[in-house]
Structure 1
């Protein structure tokens, strides 16, 4: 075997090792998204806020009257607005210094610590819960900027759909595993000698412990690449680089067109994920056990959905596969609006449909965007992507919260989200993906 062949084999082995390490950050942080954001915190924080509410059902943070049922949605909106301010700076600093791992570690462990501290959320401490949610949710958004920016470095153009889909599958696998443990603790809390409230707080805190523990794996396996730009990575330097990034992105209008489409339809996806438990518990009258089982079903089917849609993309292309998933999302929301209260079986059917499209639509969007990023701009461009993925997903929760604030009906709130999927579908249809890839200076895969 020649030296050149050995070098290629070593490079391939190193790339596979980094890919396996990369998957584990999804495995680590997805438990926060599943157990905390999707299942437990929404209903629990709402109950805490109701305990602090006045006779009319309002709390008064900073003297502003807010319906107790809107506190969670508004806190999510605040968290992603804060993330908008931080993520571009982090992306610019990461690309300038080439040191993504220290920044990833800082964001991950800040979020994990805030999540672990949710154990202390009880009584009428809704402001503490809102603060911890804001910190944890902003932190996971910032960490995902850096995590996603590794994808172009560890996977070639032809394998990114598969690698991205496997990352999502790892995340949904961990979410399902921890939800099973949560279900055992929650349903059997009496036999464990703890109250229902304490069981919920243990489930919340354990997600933070899990997040922090498994973050060690990607931090050990991923390698930073020194960029030719160099730089000290100060805050001022980061903002100057960000300004240059924004100017540079104007030179790639097709990449921006994809980001706009993604911003719109993913805002709907993120809102459905974060508000589903509120809708199930408050509007449909479903108990916590039913909600846990439904989200567990989503997690299990999302693994198959992510991998299955990855295979579909190899046949039909990522763009067309994403568009098909958006059509399904629209049907899901329409069905959810007419879902009868107290009907767990119908809720499970809806959860199964969500699971089949959730992972694939997100995984393929991430891999498709990776083809539109100019080389050397990964973290900066993925900061803009993450702003669309999580950081600018404040409008959906805000619309959801306002709809409930004005009407007192979660059905009106859930149907308002249809516009995000319909408009996102239309915007994505207008993006010439092959032309966008060429304009970014990247090779065009055979099927895109």
Structure 2
């Protein structure tokens, strides 16, 4: 494949970041949780049906507080994904049709996501099933999507391609979120109730996801699996067999394992900072809803530029150096956030800009750098482990944040406690020899990394 062909494939590949990010931003990050709390609160008999509601609803024989229901649903989906994704990855590696897997999971996830439109009144059960299934299927689609990156780019092109994809995703997610927030905040102007505005926003994310997935499905090519180790039986049984072999063989790639552990810690810190930012801004710094909404959009669009910036810098300095620098930048951000005065909008937005730049860069380069540590032909399953490391522990940072607040009664020490995740990530990154890891995986060492 020529350089021009690879670039064309990479541009087509970028569209799936644009497509799926709408679900993660509009649904999982902003709209779903508060609306589900309202609906479940009505079913539980809460007068105001808000997040302070401690009355319970019953789910699978368990009595769960309405105000905590979205957190429980998200936790269940992430834990289920951690067990399911490696099997999906093994199946992807043995298939000639990665793009079909990506699109199939995406369209199934979007179909479940569209059912969130019927989340109204006190009918919360359908929404609970829909968001769990859509979240799991989104994770499954990303396993195939990440694996395709290796097929359409050389080692030297990987950082730039991954960064463009992340940037495209932040832009797409931000555009739809901006439209939906306008519709929500001005719902009376459009003749909509607040509930209908939310439901239309949830539906729009599903439609966006499904519609834009058509572009990479049509334009991407299928690539035959490479370097497969023979395992007897059908595709299904051989997929499970390959999973067991990969878990055993991971010890033969100590640098790959070291990076996974580092990523587990610093990514959990990133996700928790994003999760806690709105709570910290509202409860500790006393900002109103308009400031918080503006901050969310600012981070989304700044992250677009941050991903592109880090992609360019990686061409000179290598992804490994920039990821390490990113963990230290996150430590600085946490310390600065600790010292922010109340109601100082300018400083709060300045920190948001820093978050957007570093978040876009570290996430994009983490994906591309990990791809260099994967043995050829095992991309699907190793990226599944990557996803499992992210999803299986994504609750730990929020737990630390919540426990620290409960012990101290303040969100300032709670936000500071998150620095431990970046410190541990930096410690494991320091123990990593990138050149050794890339060579052990059988890949070519990009020139910027070779100079480490």
Please list every run of 5 or more consecutive structure 1 residues that lacks an aligned counterpart in the other structure: 1-7
Instruction: Say yes or no: does 1:266 pair with 2:267.
Output: yes
Tell me if structure 1 keeps the 8 A contact 2:373–2:441.
yes
Alignment of 1:147-186 (within 5 A): 147-186=145-184
Change (3 A) 1:340 1:66: farther
Alignment of 1:1-400 (within 5 A): 11-51=2-42, 52=44, 57-60=53-56, 61-62=58-59, 68-227=66-225, 229=228, 234-281=235-282, 286-339=287-340, 343-400=344-401
Tell me if structure 2 keeps the 8 A contact 1:70–1:405.
no
Query: How many residues matched?
Result: 439
State the secondary structure of the residue aligned to 1:250. helix
Residue of structure 2 in register with 1:4 after alignment = none
Distance apart, 1:279 and its partner CA: 4.5
Tell me if structure 2 keeps the 8 A contact 1:303–1:359.
yes
Tell me if structure 2 keeps the 8 A contact 1:258–1:428.
yes
Q: Which stretch of the first structure deviates more once superposed, 428-437 or 324-333?
A: 324-333
Using the alignment, how far apart are the partners of 1:141 and 1:217 within structure 2?
19
Q: Which stretch of the first structure deviates more once superposed, 278-287 or 183-192?
A: 278-287
Change (3 A) 1:54 1:79: same
Distance apart, 1:335 and its partner CA: 3.6
State the secondary structure of the residue aligned to 2:447. coil
RMSD over equivalenced CA pairs, Å: 2.7
Change (3 A) 1:234 1:317: closer
State the secondary structure of the residue aligned to 1:193. coil
Q: Which stretch of the first structure deviates more once superposed, 184-193 or 82-91?
A: 184-193
Distance apart, 1:54 and its partner CA: 5.8
Using the alignment, how far apart are the partners of 1:252 and 1:368 within structure 2?
15
Change (3 A) 1:397 1:76: farther
Q: Which stretch of the first structure deviates more once superposed, 140-149 or 96-105?
A: 96-105
Normalising by the residue count of structure 2, what TM-score does the alignment of the two structures yield?
Answer: 0.88
Residue of structure 2 in register with 1:5 after alignment = none
Alignment of 1:431-442 (within 5 A): 431-442=432-443
Using the alignment, how far apart are the partners of 2:306 and 2:313 within structure 1?
10
Normalising by the residue count of structure 1, what TM-score does the alignment of the two structures yield?
Answer: 0.89
Tell me if structure 2 keeps the 8 A contact 1:158–1:445.
yes
Distance apart, 1:258 and its partner CA: 0.7
TM-superposition CA deviations, 1:37-89 (whole Å, max 9, x none): 22222333344455537698324344656555543333322211011111001
Using the alignment, how far apart are the partners of 2:401 and 2:72 within structure 1?
9
Tell me if structure 2 keeps the 8 A contact 1:403–1:412.
yes
Tell me if structure 1 keeps the 8 A contact 2:73–2:132.
yes
Instruction: Say yes or no: does 1:444 pair with 2:437.
Output: no
Using the alignment, how far apart are the partners of 1:215 and 1:24 within structure 2?
7
TM-superposition CA deviations, 1:213-234 (whole Å, max 9, x none): 0011111122222226488764
TM-superposition CA deviations, 1:337-394 (whole Å, max 9, x none): 4545555444322221111111100111111111111111111111111222334423
Distance apart, 1:416 and its partner CA: 3.6
Q: Which stretch of the first structure deviates more once superposed, 77-86 or 53-62?
A: 53-62
Tell me if structure 2 keeps the 8 A contact 1:97–1:232.
no
Using the alignment, how far apart are the partners of 1:422 and 1:304 within structure 2?
26
